Amino acid sequence: MVYDVLATLWEGPSNDLQVARAIEDRLGTPCSRRLADDHLRILRTCGFVATRDAGGSPSYVLTPDGSALLARLAASIDPTENP
């Protein structure tokens, strides 16, 4: 699910609900807002995601380290990808 969270943020800043909905669309299975928030919190703690204030609620964005992690994960999923 880490890949899906990072891939969602690659498309642009999102809040936890938007991330949960995008994961549902990607995986075709339900994803709760809480599950998305848990992953976002861990990724933020590790420095892969940062928060921005978006009118009183946090919006999440990829950091440069998050972009690098996404590239590594994509390459491990599809070895033909060039990191």
Cα-Cα-Cα-Cα dihedral sign, residues 10, 15, 16, 20: negative
Within 8 A by CB and 6+ apart from 68, the residues are: none
Domain boundaries along the sequence of the chain: 2-77
71-81 pLDDT, tens digit each: 999 888 765 54
Distance CA 80, CA 83 (A): 9
Identify the weakest region by mean pLDDT among 23-32, 61-70, 71-80.
Answer: 71-80
For domain 2-77, which CATH number applies: 3.50.90.10, 1.10.10.10, 1.20.140.10, 3.40.50.300?
1.10.10.10
Prediction pTM value: 0.84
